[in-house]
Amino acid sequence: MRTCRICDSALTEIMSFGDMPIANGFLTSLEEKEFLFPMTLHFCSQCYMVQLGETVPPEAMFNGNYQFVSSTSKAMADHFQGNAEEIQTRLKNVSDPFVVELGCNDGIMLKHIAQAGIRHLGIEPSANVAEMAKANGVNVSVQFFNKATAEKIKAEHGQADVICGSNVFCHIEDLNSVFEGIQVLLKDGGVLFFEDPYIYDIVKKSSFDQIYDEHVYYFSGLSVAELAKRHQLQLVDMAHQDVHGGSMRYYIQPGSQNTVTERVVEWIQKEEDIQLNDTRGYEKFKDSVNAICRDLKTMLEDIKQRGDKVVGYGATSKSTTLLNYAGIGHDLIDYISDNTPNKINKYTPGTHIPIKAYEEFQQDNARHVLLLAWNHKKEIFAKEKDFRASGGRFITFFPEVVIE
């Protein structure tokens, strides 16, 4: 029987996705052997944490060749600049503040803190993206964060006024060890804030493609409040973010007597309204995911049968889950256009669809485009105004399959 990584209670399986490849395991050649793992989603009815059953060792994902680079989207760059501004506002009256970011990636957020002359440190386990952060003027330490590393940072720099992390906490299997580190490093009166895809949005939209090897946890206010409590910390605020298809930013402070905002109470109520504290909420989710997969595959098969082709837009990590689970391969998708240089000319994990440069898509006459990077819909629809005006159509699929 599986037990919860946070509180050790028995887990209930919500859904099984079969054998899945690593979401960012883009192949250079089809001869390469792929690493597959049985992907399942579980729920803890004690601490409400939704989590993967099996995980992939972090060394296999976040190695020197990690493909994911944050700074590929204008909207995300703006979002992280906003985060940096929020931190600066918060620290206005603090003398010589110290900011620590866990998983600083290429420095997309921390470079603004560095430019403002604020003492900072980025912790980034992937050597190649850490180099990019350094090139962006950011102080980076290449390591995983835990209690031992927190002790060292504290000895060298003192405690932190702000600890933050975006799309990183959900990746860390031993989250208790990270929170033990936070307990050591976070100043009294300081704040930890982190944001990750929000299980409320995932369930509401059935956007199950957020579920993949790198995302061990799918947080809610319910589960984060419990997690914080275990470490003598308190969830004090929540702010919804319109990125990654719906994310939540959680604000946490040391102690148990802080002022808790009305937003926390409201969000937790909304979570309870859709039964995120009960296995029944997740059973409905599973049924609607399966219905979307059926509808999408049928639509793509119909287009193909008419003799038209479909191309994909954005070789996202999350599309690995969608394409593999729905059984959509190279037979249905000609290629996927992407603007990330190191993804081009590679193949998608498991489904082996070729990835081509955006310029090839621009010269193509494809009329049907599967919007795999659906989280960037606004930005992409603005960019592809002419394509749509000339009759080109995007296929989107959450919360239902639509041609638009």
Q: In the complex with ligand TYD, which residue's Cβ is closer, 274 or 357?
A: 357
**Which range in 37-45, 55-63, 110-118, 370-378 contacts ligand TYD by CB under 6 A?**
370-378
Q: What backbone phi and psi angles, to 5 degrees, belong to 315?
A: -80, 75
Binding mask 289-328 for ligand TYD (x = CB under 6 A): -------------------------xxxxx----------
Q: Which two tokens stand for residue 35?
A: 């690493």
Choice between 5 and 376, CB closer to ligand TYD: 376
Burial category of 126 from C-beta neighbours within 10 Å (exposed 0-12, middle 13-18, buried 19 and up): buried
- d(CA 39, CA 55) in angstroms, rounded, equals 8
118-177 binders of ligand TYD (CB under 6 A): none
Specify the DSSP element, H or E, that contains 287: helix 279-305
To ligand TYD, the closest distance from the beta carbon of 225 in angstroms equals 26
The least distance separating ligand TYD from the CB of residue 37, rounded to whole angstroms, comes to 18
The residues with which 237 forms a beta bridge, in sequence order, are 251
The per-type count for the chain, helices as H runs and strands as E runs, is: 14, 17
Does 339 engage in binding with ligand TYD (CB under 6 A)? yes
Is the Cβ of residue 237 or residue 338 nearer to ligand TYD in the bound state? Answer: 338
> How far is 343 from 399, CA to CA, in rounded Å?
28
Beta-bridge mates of residue 41: 15, 52
How would you label 381-400 residue by residue, b for 16+ Cβ within 10 Å and e otherwise?
A: eeebeebeeeeebbbbbbee
In the bound state with ligand TYD, the residue whose beta carbon lies nearer, of 72 and 234, is: 72
Residues 6 or more apart whose CB falls under 8 angstroms from that of 88 comprise 112, 113, 116, 118
**Do residues 87 and 99 lie in contact, with contact meaning Cβ atoms separated by under 8 Å?**
yes
- 129 vs 235 by CB, closer to ligand TYD: 129
Q: Which residues within the stretch 373-402 sit at the binding site for ligand TYD (CB under 6 A)?
A: 373, 375-376, 379-380, 383
Question: Over the Cα atoms of the chain, what is R_g?
Answer: 21
Burial annotation 143-180 (CB, 10 A radius, 16+ → b, else e): ebbbbebbeebbeeeebbbbbbbbbbbbbbbebbbbbb
Least distance from C-beta 357 to ligand TYD, angstroms?
Answer: 9
In the shown chain, the binding pattern of residues 343 to 362 toward ligand TYD, with x for contact by CB under 6 A and - for none, equals x--------------x----
- To ligand TYD, the closest distance from the beta carbon of 67 in angstroms equals 8
Q: Determine if residue 385 is left, alpha or beta; phi over 0 gives left, psi from -120 to 50 gives alpha, anything else beta.
A: alpha
- Please count the residues of this chain forming the interface with ligand TYD, following the rule CB under 6 A: 18
Question: Shortest Cβ distance from residue 297 to ligand TYD (Å)?
Answer: 20
Closer residue to ligand TYD, CB minimum distance, 224 or 315:
315
Cβ proximity to ligand TYD: between 314 and 354 the closer is 314
Q: Residue with CB nearest ligand TYD? A: 314
Supply the minimum distance, in Å, between the C-beta of residue 105 and ligand TYD: 10
Q: Residue 18 and residue 27: Cα distance in Å, rounded?
A: 20
- Asked if residue 239 lies in contact with residue 251, where contact means CB atoms within 8 angstroms, the answer is yes
As measured in angstroms, the least distance from the Cβ of 320 to ligand TYD is 8
Residue number with CB closer to ligand TYD (245 or 254): 245
* In the complex, least distance from residue 397 CB atom to ligand TYD, rounded to whole angstroms: 14
* Among the listed residues 40, 55, 72, 176, the single contact to ligand TYD using CB under 6 A: 72
Q: Which residues bind ligand TYD (CB under 6 A)?
A: 72-73, 314-318, 338-340, 343, 358, 373, 375-376, 379-380, 383
